[in-house]
Structure 1
């Protein structure tokens, strides 16, 4: 007996030594894969790039792993208990490994030759998720054990649980429980009830099998099992258990919803930063704050949406997507399945016409519900023939719809749903702060999710007459005045840069004869612009246009330049218009205000070129070639580069005053509805109506709108800048300028106002009844006339000021 005991003892010692040797051998084999203490404490989560507006509203997220890290203190107690009940009841008492679980794993190894899983504590799951792969092998399992033991020595239990809560995969691209709360319930962890917390606590075991969206029945069983475990462990009371176990499944696929739709903006930011950060951009948790104003972005979205749909309805209904009479008698399930097969626009719905009367239609929506579509919701639908023609206006529902038609509907405040069709036309809007170039709102097209092409930055289109203010400013710089006369009469140009002799005409074919530049601009007279450029010379004009940021190499070197034949983006046009808006200074558009890392450290802070109004200029010799200024901003005092003047203040005011007349009397008269005297702008329409523009501004903000087809098809009869793009501009600016005080471009004291003859542009005769007032720089004031004899002697500045005072008094008496 004693001998047997000795043999058993020796065998036990040998076995123990063998086990120790095997364990040590395994350790030597895997020790290089065990992280150091520093690596354990510096675990890095893969956090997606997030992009925000200036006022901290989310507009975009990029990264394969949706993750929002939380600290241990932010973990709800019920969630912690649910995790422990489901995954590792003994978490706070074991050293990182579960001996019984390891026993099961060893048995699996002996019986099958492979590790089948099981026995993993929360610590081991953290080790696997942070430092290892998911392969089921002997070596990986032992490495996991060694890492777990080391983690327990170096980290607290709370630190390990925090890593688990933030790292574990929970389905639907959600990594970590906060991301899962947002994805499945559209809420934060703190907002979830016990039943919802237990539901997501059941996901780590098998995110696909127990997914409440994909497999709700299995997910319910798993949830209730966890709740039962919590009850038996004393984590919850019977009443809480009963309430939670009876709760219905409320999970839905919420994704990560932005606070503000600005997908074109988000993509611009992503593309710009990718060049610097590469693929790390999607994992390092960078946070980007843009210059976007969330309220103005929402207003821009709505303005473009309404403008495009208004154009689309004006040109008629292109017909149903398909007609399926067989679906009318089919089951609701078959009907909705057929409807969902069609792609649609966000917030719109597909519908099947079930029956019609003279005044309404009964339709099945893709969610299975049935609604009545009233006549006003479809009365607009004249048949589309082409861009210039529509068929007769419908009189009854049967003129538009018949049973079996598959149609699109969009939300409508008056009729609930309105007959719709996906527009083919596109529009884009860009709005800038003219003092520093900050992009406050940007819409690159009607529907980013259907077409990601950004028409604000990527599309180069002809601006047409929208470009004329730059030509007229060049003329003012060369000594022309708003009263200068150009003969608007037929002319033929023989230009070596043109393919053939050119006979420019005005829209409508009408000629006005001798015309003042002010009139020519607000009437948008083409011949005057061409003759003016011909007089000034193309080369000096191209050189002058560089002041607005235009590259002469991108501009035509012929007289068509005067009619806006260059191919330019809306962003380039809007940037040029900021010079008019801020009184003559050039700024650079910018979108990214600052970039922060995951810890909140600032990696990049924009220093925009800013108009010094007001600021304290700093000494040049201390700061180099760029003039700097000290600005008082909402974030405190900042030193920023000062914008340089590119056109004189006198010229800036005169062109602004001329462009105000575009709205008072000219092609922009629709904007009078805003009842603001501080706004100015210019329409633009290219040949055959292929591009329609309106760019307008006051002393603070510039907004440019473009409308057209991507394939440059004509917009159709009656579609001009003033009808296709101006309404969108008005809609946006009405909201953007609401409650804003008028912002005028300041009138320099050097300018003088004198009475002129409206027909000749000369100084008015004493007592001339049809005389009007015009603004001039002193050097350009027309000579005084007495009867028909002009006085050629110079006029003193004192005399000019006295006459200006009389003119202003007369203006006050008029109004």
Structure 2
């Protein structure tokens, strides 16, 4: 008995000694590690790595930038059954323990001994929050001890629901999906609230090993894991046996769903991305910013499609350039076509295809199309494919399919019935798959080719400068060069309205007459004399300025610039805020031989459209942070006629001090505040009103007549074609919207002798404006004071005599033709007016 007592005492002392040592060691670790532990309140300030998202002004997703797909949500947005699925898989006693679950650790140890594998793990959800937010993933004792200490600290300072919310927004669930909301979209293309029980359990199985239990990469293991979690949910009383049986029998329905953008606007998206990186650096990709642009989603989509359609139409007019590749007969017979076609990329809606058989009798071609598979291309879709020879010459129209393609050719085609395509996950390759349930039994495709010519379209809200739509080329994937903002090209005759506006402000009128006659300039720097011509090659004699503009008479423009003066005209362009650095200081300036980007020309046209006020194009309307709070709002635009400096100062003084410095787009013109843009008048409103009238005639009876198809009375514009048809333009507007389209080659070269602004750029502009102005009321510039209408003789530009055929013309009061008197009657028969006319003619 005494021996037993002594033994008991010995064990008691050993136990107490061990316990004391454990307490001392634990306390030592705590005292050593505690100062280095981060404060828990930082959890509430941590910015989850959330991608940059770009939206149109009508809230349609344009783009998403960033490595990690994440969409933080609140715990109230997550169904209770989904929370229970994660707790069953990771921490069933989450609402009972104090951050460290002793029972859970014991259970994990028993599972390890009995099965050789830990099913539920020993870390609590709180410990995982500590690890995911603060600690590394190193498997060391020190890291684990820090994890436990942090978990205890987190539990003391945060409630359980907040901890669970942090966990579900942070965890990595495979395929770039971080957080439960992103995972639901990636695997099931649904919000969390719409997932089935089987899908919820599948997602709950991913945190343990996102690759091993991934339903896309390892569906068998994923199903085992899912069913085990469903069993745990039944054991814990979360679901009924019937619900478990139904979920266990459900097939795996996961598939990879990439971020679905709602607007095809890659050039706009890149502009927004670049601006955000300029403002916020690399944090722009991770800090959860949301950018709302000024572009309208519907208009932007139409702009993208109109430009592509216009470039393809131009390209077809100039013939088929042949196959993009050739596969020899032996390879064609022995290789898998699906593998061979992978060497050729998809370009927008154009898909590469291998010609398998050419059947002239049946009038069709059998092809194997990337992403579609076997398809038929009827000869009717190939009749446009005359053989390309030069920009001015094509071969004869094909009579049968073999005139166009041969077996083994690789060509581009377009599917007549758009197929639904699901992208494969990152773990299974990059080649998209066709959804067999949505593809027609026999796919039909049409012959196509990637256009060589490029183009741009910009549409601005005339009174504010807000970019409503922009496309910088045929395909951003093929070329990231944004022609809308980067390509400096000759504007050709689209420059003439600014020359004519200068003339109107200088006292000339639409009735002023100039001679459209040959003119020759000798220049010692040129090998030959300069003999400018009209595009028709003909000359038309004395012509009123109104007619000269709408018929785009080059010789009149040259004489007009000579009278105005080159330096004076360049100064006027500077007054209009049109860049002159790349403008010539000779008479070729009158024909648009300087260089402007399509954006610069669009801005200048917006000045005319809005009545003569300055305007600055801008793209970003608002920027919100990860909390949804607006941190930037585009300034409001105020059009100012007088006392603009005073108005600008009032705007700045009215701004709260705390808002200073928030405007990253402040103007160098010095008249902006973060809240207001004060835009000054740059041109006389009466001269602009008259120019509107003259440019409306470009549509009614001039080179822009095709725009009459809009059926509107408020459209004005100007075509433009440069020497040798290297650049073609159309710039048109009403009082609210100014839109400019350009077509040309990236390396300037002739588009073809029959190509002009009216045949290349105007159709693009027209396709866009049909939608952009659909349902919009007529918007004409209001008639300003000081404008008079007078009936004139169209041959002389003077007032028409009683009984004489005449037309009405619009004038500024001070520039109107003088009333008829006996003296003016004599002047018509050889007075001073004739001397002035002779100067313009010769």
TM, length-normalised to structure 2 = 0.86
Deviation at 1:772, TM superposition (A): 2.2
Q: Secondary structure at the match of 1:609?
A: strand
Deviation at 1:608, TM superposition (A): 3.7
1:158 aligns with 2:161: yes
RMSD value over aligned CA atoms?
Answer: 3.0
Matched with 1:799 is: none
1:518 CA drift (Å)? 1.2
Q: 1:702 aligns with which of 738, 741, 749?
A: 738
Distance 1:581 1:342, change over 3 A: same
Aligned to 1:87: 90
Compute the displacement of 1:695 (Å): 0.5
Distance 1:789 1:540, change over 3 A: closer
Q: Distance in 2 between matches of 1:705 and 1:724?
A: 9
Identify the residue that residue 336 of structure 1 maps to in structure 2.
338
Match of 2:219 among 209, 216, 219: 216
* Alpha-carbon distance between aligned partners in 1 of 2:647 and 2:737, rounded to the nearest angstrom: 33
Structure 1 distance, partners of 2:291, 2:280, is 13
1:733 positional shift: 0.5
In 1, the alpha carbon distance for the partners of 2:704 and 2:416 equals 29
CA distance in 2, matches of 1:32, 1:657: 78
| Partners of 2:80 and 2:526 in 1: CA distance | 78
Per-residue deviation, 1:329 = 4.2
Distance of 1:749 and 1:594 partners within structure 2: 38
Residues 37-74 of structure 1: CA deviation (Å, up to 9, x unaligned):
32244333222222211122221222222111110111
| Distance (whole Å) between structure 1 residues aligned to residue 39 and residue 643 of structure 2 | 52
**Cα 1:450/1:38, change in 2 over 3 Å:** same
Question: Quick one: which of 390, 402, 407 aligns to 1:403?
Answer: 407
Task: State the 1:713 CA deviation.
Answer: 2.6
User: Counterpart of 1:245?
Assistant: 248
For residue 734 of structure 1, report the CA deviation from its aligned partner: 0.7
Of 683-692 and 237-246, more deviation after overlay is shown by: 237-246
Question: What is the aligned partner in structure 1 of residue 115 from structure 2?
Answer: none
Q: Could you tell me whether the CA contact under 8 Å between 2:647 and 2:678 is conserved in 1?
A: no
For 2:448 and 2:531, how far apart are their aligned partners in 1? 43
Q: Deviations over 1:234-267 (max 9, x none)?
A: 3223333333333333323222222222221122
Deviates more, 1:484-493 or 1:163-172: 484-493
| Match of residue 586, structure 1, among 614, 636, 641 | 614
- Residues 263-302 of structure 1: matches in 2 within 5 Å? 263-302=266-305
Q: Tell me which moved more, 69-78 or 204-213.
A: 204-213
Q: Which of the residues 603, 628, 648 maps onto 2:684? A: 648
1:462 paired with 2:490, answer yes
- Contact kept in structure 2, 1:530 and 1:562, CA below 8 Å: yes
Conservation of the 8 A alpha-carbon contact between 1:584 and 1:652: yes
Counterpart-to-counterpart distance in 2, 1:216 and 1:116: 18
Closer, same or farther in 2 for the Cα pair 1:667/1:120, shift >3 Å? Answer: same
Task: Map residues 531-542 of structure 1 onto 2, 5 A cutoff.
Answer: 531-542=559-570
Provide the rounded CA distance (Å) in 2 between the counterparts of 1:607 and 1:368: 48
Indicate how the Cα distance of structure 1 residues 652 and 368 shifts in structure 2: closer, same or farther if over 3 A, else same.
closer
The secondary structure found in structure 1 opposite 2:63 is strand
Q: Structure 2 residue aligned with 1:659, among 690, 695, 699?
A: 695
Query: Is residue 198 of structure 1 aligned with residue 201 of structure 2?
Result: yes
Deviation per CA, 1:97-123: give whole Å up to 9, x if none.
2336656999999xxxxx999522211
Among 727, 732, 737, the residue aligned to 2:763: 727
Instruction: Pick the aligned partner of 1:751 from 762, 765, 787.
Output: 787
Match of 2:189 among 186, 190, 203: 186
Instruction: Give the equivalent residue in structure 2 for 1:228.
Output: 231
Relative to the length of structure 1, the TM-score reads 0.89
Q: Closer, same or farther in 2 for the Cα pair 1:198/1:365, shift >3 Å?
A: farther
Which residue pairs with 1:810 in the alignment?
none
Q: Are residue 97 (structure 1) and residue 96 (structure 2) matched?
A: no
Mapped to 2, the partners of 1:317 and 1:181 lie a distance apart of 46
Report whether the alignment pairs 1:762 with 2:787.
Answer: no
Q: Secondary structure at the match of 1:457?
A: helix
**Structure 1: gaps (5+ residues):** 110-114, 631-637, 794-815
- Range that drifts further, 344-353 or 531-540: 344-353
In structure 2, relative to structure 1, the CA distance for the partners of 1:139 and 1:336 (3 Å cut) is same
Q: Deviations over 1:380-403 (max 9, x none)?
A: 222222322222111111212333
Q: Which residue does 1:439 correspond to in 2? A: 467
Rounded to whole Å, the distance in 2 between the matches of 1:761 and 1:351 is 63
Aligned in 2, Cα 1:282/1:789: closer, same or farther, shift over 3 Å?
Answer: closer
CA distance in 2, matches of 1:462, 1:514: 28
- Alpha-carbon distance, 1:268 to partner: 1.2
Q: Any conservation in 1 of the 2:699–2:705 contact (CA below 8 Å)?
A: yes
